[in-house]
Chains A and B, each alone.
Chain A
Amino acid sequence: MVEAIMSQINRSAAQMNATVLANKRVGQYHQIVFGIGDLVKSCRPGNFVAIKVGGDSSRMILRRAFAISRVAESVSFGGTMELIVAPHGTGSKWLCAQPEGAEIDIVAPLGTAFGIPTAPVKALLVGGGYGSAPLFGLAEVLKSRGCKVDMLLGASTGAKIYAPMEGKRSVNSLKIYTEDGTMGETGRVTEPIKALIENREVDVIYSCGPMGMLSAISALTVGTDVVHQCAVEEAMACGIGICMTCVLPVMGDDGKIAMLRSCIDGPVMDGAQVQWQMVGQVPDGTP
């Protein structure tokens, strides 16, 4: 079993030059669309892309990882990949400044994808900040499988909510929470989840956002049959499994804790297996 998984590392990934087809500001974020041709056929909701930033003479030697927001195929543009990028650091600011027509070196698709249920289920999608971006593509897939899709989005303030008009079509309901009350309800996105679980309105929670939010959701699912698939966020140097920097303590089926790479064993992980209280530590003794 382990061998079968090991031999599939990065099996869909390819390195290519992708053209920027569109780049526009949406609130505090940039929505950037790349032409990636047939590579879209391998991309699944939850996968990420590693992008070379700064140009050839850059002092930034590492790629930047971004969750793939959605992929599409059209007659005029072929296969396209959309990213929602927050211009926080030097690398993401460089990417957000790239004009239409720029050629960008990408490696994609990388990492695990959200598991799609074989039968229709009641799905709750929870996004924090721009972590909502990959959830809209996921919602489309779940909807097409007959799932009920409810979405909760949260952020500190309204400008940090990413909720495109067209994305709202693929969900049954959408509720927004901001901590300062500038959009939607005042409060945290995790607040309504307890009642939804108790009222049996949820079978599977899919989440993407800050680690604190993912940890809080996992705590709410303890002792319930609700499955929690979360996309984790850890600092990565390579994105392809060779640097061992992006590890998290995760409980295996054998009851042992392993330091797993969030790039190839994630980013989508089973929230019940991640040892949230130990993130940033290593277990005592030997594995």
Chain B
Amino acid sequence: MADGRPSSGWHTLSTFDFSTTLGNAFFNSPIFTASGCASSGKELAQFFDLRDIGAVVTKSVMNKPRYGRPTPRMAETPSGMLNSIGLQGPGIDAFLAKDVPWLIEQKSRVIVSIAGETVEEYATLARKVRSVSGISALEVNISCPNVENRGLVFACDPDTSRRVIDGVRRTIGGEIPIIAKLSPDVTNLPEIARGVVDAGADALALINTVLGMVINLDSMRPHLGGKTGGLSGPAIRPVAVRAIYQVHAVLPNVPILGMGGVASGRDALELILAGASGVSVGTASFGNPSAVIEIQRELHSLLIAKGFPSLKSAVGYAHRAEEK
């Protein structure tokens, strides 16, 4: 490599095609970090080469710097955890000036995740992202559960979801793919998915965390500073598989970036069979800093062992017609 670092280059060694696409963005591998579970990549770079995975999806960033929610922000639950970080971050200007250039310098693929409080804030964020080159795709997080007002979770309402994506599309549409990140906490997920695709989303990210609560038995009050939090980890994987399967069934041509409790290669394959073209690894990195790269290796071996000629041939395979 130009900078002299050895790259393992392991996924180029076989004829198996591991690549994937989200809209017009091409990735060598379908395994990504999940927004909010990799910060901006620096912390994990000690444990594996960021170039070897599909892309780093950065923590959702807002227009202004933000303190987030009070502690405690975390509670471990059976096979999962609740978090109520509340989008702590440096703000988009500092993020684009420092964090993105560092990732691009590492030759990592970058998907930037944005979050806003208003339709206008999302459009402003998209305009700022557009001014920086080298970003592969834009994740529009309209489903963060850790906001003061549940009414602000845009993805819980078909109309506000559409308006956010429409505003982003007018700003950046056609330049880099727009990935709308949706919440599983809705009655009719396929309807919301169809709405954001009609408004211009090129791909969907499924699923954000599931809203939950833990009561502390010492204080006998909600344990988290923010009272409610987002549930993640293996506990929610069946919810993710269901959501991806339901949406892929009605929108088979819309690429899905799947996430939710993936902790092994077999978990990633489950999401792919349900209809995901790519899989993000989130909470698993908290327990194992090498999780992303290990899951990628396991998925690669598993797809070959199952006889698939390519990653793409496995996407949505669980939907095929019954054999006669």
Contact = CB atoms under 8 A, between A and B. Distances in A.
A15 B85 CA distance: 26
A9 B67 contact: no
Interface of B: 36-39, 42-44, 46-47, 59, 64-74, 76, 78-81, 83, 85, 88, 91, 98, 102, 225, 233-234, 263, 283-290
B228 to A, nearest CB: 15
A7 B41 CA distance: 11
A282 B37 CA distance: 21
Given A242-B38, A243-B286, A282-B70, 4 more contacts: A6-B42, A6-B98, A242-B44, A245-B71
Contacts of A224: none
B287 A242 contact: no
B46 A9 contact: yes
A283 interface: yes
A15 B47 contact: yes
A243 B47 CA distance: 16
A226 interface: no
Interface stretch (A74-82, A194-202, A233-241): A233-241
Interface of A: 3, 6-7, 9-11, 13, 15, 52, 59-63, 105, 107, 234-238, 240-248, 259, 264, 279-283, 286-287
Contacts of A15: 47, 288-290
Nearest to B99: A6
Contact of A234 (B38, B71, B78, B283): B71
Contacts of A6: 42, 98, 102
B39 A259 contact: no
Contacts of A244: 36, 39, 59, 68, 73, 85, 88
Contacts of A280: 70-72, 225
Contact of A9 (B42, B59, B71): B42
Contacts of A264: 43
A273 to B, nearest CB: 16
A61 B81 contact: yes
For the complex of A and B, the 5 pairs showing the least CB-CB separation, nearest first, are A245-B74, A238-B286, A241-B43, A10-B46, A282-B67
B167 to A, nearest CB: 23
Contact of B68 (A10, A105, A259): A259
9 contacts: A15-B288, A15-B289, A61-B287, A63-B286, A63-B287, A243-B83, A244-B85, A245-B73, A259-B88
Contacts of B79: 59, 61
Given A6-B42, A61-B81, A259-B88, A52 B70 contact: no
B236 to A, nearest CB: 12
B78 A59 contact: yes
B71 A107 contact: no
B44 A287 contact: no
Contacts of A281: 70
A10 B70 contact: no
B76 A61 contact: yes
B287 A52 contact: yes
A61 B289 contact: no
Contacts of B73: 235, 244-245, 247
Contacts of B91: 286
Contacts of A282: 67-70
Indicate the member of B59, B64, B76, B234 with the most A CB atoms within 10 Å.
Answer: B76
Given A59-B79, A61-B287, A247-B71, A242 B39 contact: yes
A169 B52 CA distance: 50
A280 B263 CA distance: 31
A259 to B, nearest CB: 5
A238 B287 CA distance: 6
A237 B83 contact: yes
Indicate the member of B65, B71, B234, B263 with the most A CB atoms within 10 Å.
Answer: B71
Contacts of B64: 286
Contacts of B59: 244
Contact of B83 (A7, A13, A245): A245
Nearest to A248: B71
Contact of B43 (A10, A59, A245): A10
B287 A243 contact: no
A61 B286 contact: yes
A15 B309 CA distance: 33
Contact of B67 (A7, A11, A283): A283
Contacts of B225: 280
Nearest to A244: B85
A6 B95 CA distance: 13
A106 B284 CA distance: 15
Contacts of B78: 59
B47 A287 contact: no
A62 B76 contact: yes
Given A282-B67, A286-B66, A237 B43 contact: no
A17 B81 CA distance: 25
A242 B46 contact: no
